[in-house]
Amino acid sequence: MRYISTRGQAPALTFEDTMLTGLARDGGLYVPETIPTLDEATIAEMEGHPYEEIAYTVMRPFVGDTFTDDEFRACIDRAYAGFGHAARAPLVQLDQGHFLLELFHGPTLAFKDFAMQLIGQLFQTALRRRNQRVTIVGATSGDTGSAAIEAFRGLDNVDVFILYPHGRVSEVQRRQMTTPTESNVHALAVEGDFDDCQARLKDMFNDFEFRDGVALAGVNSINWARVLAQVVYYFSAAVAVGAPQRKVSFTVPTGNFGDIFAGYIAKRMGLQIDKLVVATNQNDILHRCLSGQGYHKGETIPSISPSMDIQVSSNFERALFDAYDRDGMAVAQLMEELKHGGFEVSQGAMQVLQDHYASGRVSEDETSAQITTSLKASGELLCPHSAVGVHVADIERAAGIPMITLATAHPAKFPAAVEAATGITPPLPPRMADLYERAERLTRVPNDLEALKAHIQTHRAQ
Ligand SMILES: *Cc1c(COP(=O)(O)O)cnc(C)c1O
């Protein structure tokens, strides 16, 4: 199994190098050269099996000979052992034909743990074997950073630096990043918004001297291994509601397009998915684009679902690559236009995108109202991101096809919005109840590439 860049100008890599590299050297994102498929019998066989076994079946074909079967199984087992629910990704019913896939039982209470916990184990195994050390730098709107710090804290072969927008993450998110005491993890509060953090991260990857000097590795949602880990729960959820005999639809609260793109990969692998619905908040560049209005950046407006407050959706490049028939030059051209504000999608590519993805946008008021409505109707307390998903899913549902909405975070991760809507302050699970008492450790840094590079160079282990 080899991986190629969406911009067509970087060398093809193995799974191991793709995972350890993150971003391709031509600025593109790695995708598998071909997508392996699972036959109907293999999918049917998943029903009733432990999450870890389904994970092994789904991911094994993508990994090639980077890991032995036993190594890979062991990584999966360790990754999910710390989850607070035996099913890992349990489904609950909201209404006839509408289900909620709870992806928030990991250590930092958001779906990012599914990928990040696994990546931590895979990095550790590969780096130990290579006797190498890497510097992981990540940009976060809140959840990626906490998940990364939680996954890599105390591991021998990595230093982790997380850039987050100062003052724009929730208190729980911030504390999850700033309270771990291990010396290999560093929380950096950047004077800027999430798009600034993401742009500085890309700058670092495009500075090859720095990149090679510190052995830079990326674990943002552009890392293929993260997308791959997320493919698994589309299968586990679909078979629980009747796949492969029955088609299913998914609605996904979307920001960087990583989670929903994993659904598209599941579909390409042979899972019968009817609709993949992109749900956005008021930062709706994806909804506008999928509605045929082109892909044009605006201003990021802070919302009560902050993990989706973005204008540039990194993984959308992977969807464009397939929509443009895997023409790397065409994608490189679009990304050049994006630097100057945006681009129009060709008619042919638009057709392909609309064949795979539907979309909807939810306002702030509708999000709050949905939290209240869902609590009344089903007793479920939703986080604001999940509420965005449920709202759009209700519009996109079709008779006879189960709709599964991904619940991307635990309500206690965003208590202010939940309390404002319902009057209820969602409690943290007991295992992290002392989060508000732990001491914090962070560094304020300007939104400046040279300052960030200097900080990382002096604070990583030599
Ligand atoms: C990251 C995140 C999202 C968006 O996921 P993408 O893969 O970036 O589209 C949605 N909700 C929550 C809670 C998140 O942490």
322-372 residue pLDDT tens: 999 999 999 999 999 999 999 999 999 999 999 999 999 999 999 999 999
Domain-located, residue 334: yes
The Cα 129–Cα 122 span in angstroms is 11
Whole-model pTM?
Answer: 0.95
Can you give the pLDDT at residue 406? 98
Can you give the pLDDT at residue 170? 86
Structural domain containing residue 228 = 91-106+224-422
CA angle 166, 172, 173 (to 5 degrees): 50
Domain-located, residue 384: yes
The Cα 304–Cα 313 span in angstroms is 18
Can you give the pLDDT at residue 300? 87
**Closest Cα to atom 2, ligand 1: which residue?**
307
In the chain, the amino acid numbered 281 is N
Tokens of 87: 């099913």
Ligand 1 nearest atom to the CA of residue 261, by list position:
7
| C-alpha distance from residue 407 to each of 119, 286, 381, 384, 422 (Å) | 21, 19, 10, 9, 18
The Cα 243–Cα 241 span in angstroms is 6
Measured N-to-C along each axis, helices 347-356 and 316-323 cross at an angle, to the nearest 10 degrees, of 120
Measured N-to-C along each axis, helices 224-240 and 258-268 cross at an angle, to the nearest 10 degrees, of 60
For ligand 1, the distance from its centroid to the CA atom of residue 306, given in whole angstroms, is 9
Count of domains observed in the chain: 1
Residue bearing tokens 């109840």: 433
Domain-located, residue 236: yes
Strands annotated E in 36-81: none
pLDDT at 427 over 90: yes
Domain-located, residue 171: no
400-424 core/surface letters (b: 16 or more CB in 10 A; e: else): ebbbbbbbbbbbbbbbebbeebbee
71-113 residue pLDDT tens: 999 999 999 999 999 999 999 999 999 999 999 999 999 999 9
Residue bearing tokens 């976060």: 140
The Cα 217–Cα 285 span in angstroms is 28
Mean pLDDT of all residues in the chain? 96
CATH of the domain at 388: 3.40.50.1100
Can you give the pLDDT at residue 194? 86
For ligand 1, the distance from its centroid to the CA atom of residue 120, given in whole angstroms, is 19
Can you give the pLDDT at residue 22? 81
Domain-located, residue 258: yes
Query: Over pLDDT 70: what percentage of the chain?
Result: 100
Mention every residue, 6+ apart, whose C-beta is less than 8 A from residue 418: 371, 381, 382, 383, 384, 411, 412, 424, 425, 426
- What residues pair up with 17 in beta bridges, in sequence order? none
Can you give the pLDDT at residue 15? 97
Testing ligand 1's pocket by substitution, the residue of 277, 307, 391 carrying the most ligand atoms inside 8 A of its CB is 307
Ligand 1 nearest atom to the CA of residue 262, by list position:
7
For ligand 1, the distance from its centroid to the CA atom of residue 188, given in whole angstroms, is 20
pLDDT at 462 over 80: no
Domain-located, residue 17: no
Domain-located, residue 284: yes
Q: How confident is the model at residue 420 (pLDDT cuts 50, 70, 90)?
A: very high
The Cα 348–Cα 13 span in angstroms is 29
Ligand 1 nearest atom to the CA of residue 111, by list position:
15
Residue 240: CB atoms within 10 Å: 20
For ligand 1, the distance from its centroid to the CA atom of residue 315, given in whole angstroms, is 12
The Cα 414–Cα 83 span in angstroms is 19
Tell me the range of 18-22, 205-209, 315-319 where mean pLDDT is highest: 315-319
36-81 residue pLDDT tens: 999 999 999 999 999 999 999 999 999 999 999 999 999 999 999 9
Domain-located, residue 43: no
- Sheet containing 98-102: which strands, arranged edge to edge? 91-95, 98-102, 403-407, 248-253, 273-280, 357-361
The Cα 356–Cα 71 span in angstroms is 35
Residues in the chain: 462
**Closest Cα to atom 15, ligand 1: which residue?**
143
For ligand 1, the distance from its centroid to the CA atom of residue 354, given in whole angstroms, is 21
267 is a catalytic site residue: no
Ligand 1 proximal residues by C-beta, below 6 Å:
110, 112, 143, 221, 253-259, 307-308, 385, 408-409
Q: Are 230 and 79 in contact (CB under 8 A)?
A: no
Q: How confident is the model at residue 218 (pLDDT cuts 50, 70, 90)?
A: confident
The Cα 71–Cα 90 span in angstroms is 26
Can you give the pLDDT at residue 220? 83
Q: What count of Cα atoms within 13 Å lies in the side-chain half-sphere of residue 419?
A: 8
